[in-house]
Amino acid sequence: MKKLWLSFALVSATAVLSYGQLCCLKKAPCDGMVAFASDKNFKDAHLAPEPFDYQEEKGKMISFSTPDGKTGSAFAVLSGQKTNKVVFVFQEWWGVNDYIKREAEMLQKELGNVNVYAVDLYDGKVASVQDSAAKYMMAMKPERAANIIKGLIVFVGKDAQIASIGWCMGGSWAFQSALLEGAQAKACVMYYGFPEKDMEKLKTLKTDVLYIQAFQDGFITKDAVDGFAKDLKTAGKTIEVKGYEAVHAFANPSNPKFDKVASEDARKLALAKIRKGLELK
């Protein structure tokens, strides 16, 4: 805990630090991400979502047991046909809001015979302003988030083939999910997520990774992404990095700085990665 508060102090004392400077803790994933949540520059880079009221078409919230004796939840969009192909969708720091629900339904429609689950890492909390999002992200315990993912892995079954995808905070957790999925992991797509630095964890990864990078990202630097790619390759893993001249969170349609052209191109790559990993037609 003292080390975590030291990270907060470092962020407050400097304008923006690179991920490599911040994420030096090994015990829990995404500690650097949590430290960024207290930084004004990071908050300002995540503009409040534009108003949007989405009416679900097929999806609904479901609940499942988690290993810590609690209950987890996810927004589930089911195929309607028998399938063992599954996609886990990981929220940005806002929570499972209407944009994430729409994204889950769009992915299910585009991919076909798959079941899609937007994982609720905030246990029902959803933010609409930056301060609330920062509060929820800092309060989220990595152990609890991991237990939610573990519970969902058990819920979908041992025969499920799983692809994970997420953005920013969700990009980090999409990767952590791939680690937890073990041999069930078939694809992982990280949109400008915070890299894992623990080499021992990287060695356990069982799937390829597509990393979507924003060249104008002031938080997850090119050096950090290059280092992540190098570490994965050293660990004997395969990673593809695709970069765009865009800002952090450029693929979020709720972001006033949404980059439509870059987002459409990145989406084609993401869908192709998932289709290949899950062996979808």
pLDDT per residue over 20-76, tens digit each? Answer: 333 322 334 455 566 666 566 666 666 666 666 777 789 999 999 999 999 999 999
**pLDDT for res 103:** 95
**pLDDT for res 182:** 98
pLDDT band at 252 (very low <50, low <70, confident <90, very high): confident
Is residue 7 included in any domain, yes or no?
no
Q: What is the mean pLDDT of residues 232-257?
A: 92
What is the count of structural domains for the chain?
Answer: 1
Is residue 119 included in any domain, yes or no?
yes
**pLDDT for res 5:** 33
**Of residues 149, 151, 154, the one with CA closest to residue 164:** 149
Can you give the CATH number for the domain in which 141 is found?
3.40.50.1820
Is residue 22 included in any domain, yes or no?
no
Is residue 11 included in any domain, yes or no?
no
**pLDDT for res 38:** 59
The structure's pTM equals 0.86
Could you list the residue range(s) of the whole structural domain that residue 106 is in? 38-278
Q: What is the mean pLDDT of residues 77-88?
A: 97
What are the CA-CA distances from residue 184 to residues 72, 109, 137, 188 (Å)?
A: 20, 22, 27, 11
pLDDT per residue over 135-185, tens digit each? Answer: 999 999 999 999 999 999 999 999 999 999 999 999 999 999 999 999 999
**pLDDT for res 81:** 95
* Alpha carbons 150 and 181: distance in angstroms, whole number: 8
Is residue 238 included in any domain, yes or no?
yes
Is residue 21 included in any domain, yes or no?
no
**CA max distance for the chain:** 54
Is residue 2 included in any domain, yes or no?
no
Is residue 6 included in any domain, yes or no?
no
Q: Residue 11: pLDDT above 90?
A: no
Beta bridge partners of 98: none
